[in-house]
Structure 1
Amino acid sequence: MMELLKLVESLHLPDWWICAGFVRSIVWDILHNFEERTPLADIDVIYFDPKNIDEAADLFLEEKLSFLNPTVPWSVKNEARMHVKSNMPPYQSSVDAISKFPETATAIGVKLDDQDRIVLTAPHGIKDLINLEVKPTIHFQKKKERIAIYKNRINQKNWKLRWNQLKIHYN
């Protein structure tokens, strides 16, 4: 994980984080006493740059990371434009965007500070993550279309098949 954090850090992206499954899955693996890490569908790298919201920039960064480490399925997103896809007001930062992820246990990110120490952000705390609880963030609890997005994600991800101790909350 440190190698991947250092690779992303080397890009010098503004307000960058590796988030979601990168953190969540290893915590759940440890809490389930798995000896091997669960393979990730992708490594979610986010950053916040309102000066360049062209999606081509994200694709260029994915290619650059793939060149540096081709064994990793990179996914790079500038959160300065992702509010449109999520049908939400503009995000103010990457942490603001993370706070609006669908699940509390996924709304988590890590990065390195200028002394290569790990920095954690968890806008909804880590209680649900370490208690193996999957709950919608407040942004996915009230509007019908967002509730449906949350429920569809839970069904598509089928996390309970891998991590059988999870407690899934649907509202």
Structure 2
Amino acid sequence: MSALKEEDILRLVREDDWMTGILRTVQTLNLPDWWVCAGFVRAKIWDTRHGYGERTALPDVDVIYFDPGDDSEGREKELEDLLTGLHSGVPWSVKNQVRMHHINHNPPHASARDAMSKFPETATALGLTLSDENGLVLYAPWGVEDAVNGVIRPTPFFREDPDRLRIYRNRLLKKNWKRHWERLTILDG
């Protein structure tokens, strides 16, 4: 398959009933600045590039949002329970990016998009949302090229700091993505 472009990724998602169902389910919560991101998008691209006919099981479906009005972890758990009630069998993970800088010991995020730009890998810094004006929206702060080409490298935010670079390297070991997607290229930093 030739290199995918943003419009190809959007087409693949639109044609995937499971993915569009996930997005529509999250949309019903009316969360501010919400996105379904990371592996949800990345795995679709990598499965397509590897010619897999079946979806790779995800350890979780990451939903992020940005709500300065309620930064409690309890609210995130309530939202996960709501999503499970609406769409069972999905390993939901919901995180308000307003509070995540405390967890990760980073500067505060300005938005969910800002938080995505600070994800560990460029190929993971991807998100999808549904907009009333534009329909399906893909956000890729570092572009889609690394995800499409199967290149794993740290985002500039992780590359610029030795402690974060260690976190990136530890993630690579833990995730072991090449076990499933053998044509990936992993860059140390």
TM range (shorter): over 0.9
Alignment-derived partner of residue 35 in structure 1: 53
1:5-25 CA distance string (max 9 Å, x none) = 000000000000000000000
Alignment-derived partner of residue 174 in structure 2: 156
SS at match of 2:169: helix
Q: How far did 1:142 drift?
A: 2.5
State how far apart, in whole Å, the 2-side matches of 1:124 and 1:86 are. Answer: 20
State how far apart, in whole Å, the 1-side matches of 2:133 and 2:160 are. Answer: 41
Task: Work out the number of aligned pairs and report it.
Answer: 171
Correspondence 1:12-27 to 2 at 5 A:
12-27=30-45
Alignment-derived partner of residue 114 in structure 1: 132
Aligned amino acid, residue 113 of structure 2: V
SS at match of 2:98: helix
SS at match of 1:156: helix
Alignment-derived partner of residue 123 in structure 1: 141
* 2:154 aligns with one of 111, 136, 141: 136
Q: How far did 1:116 drift?
A: 7.2
Alignment-derived partner of residue 79 in structure 1: 97
The TM-score normalised by the length of structure 2 is 0.89
SS at match of 2:99: helix
Q: Does 1:145 align with 2:154?
A: no
The TM-score normalised by the length of structure 1 is 0.98
Runs of 4+ in 1 over 2 A off after TM superposition: none
Unaligned runs of 5+ in 2: 1-18
Alignment-derived partner of residue 70 in structure 1: 88
Q: Does 1:49 align with 2:63?
A: no
SS at match of 1:80: coil
State how far apart, in whole Å, the 2-side matches of 1:147 and 1:90 are. Answer: 19
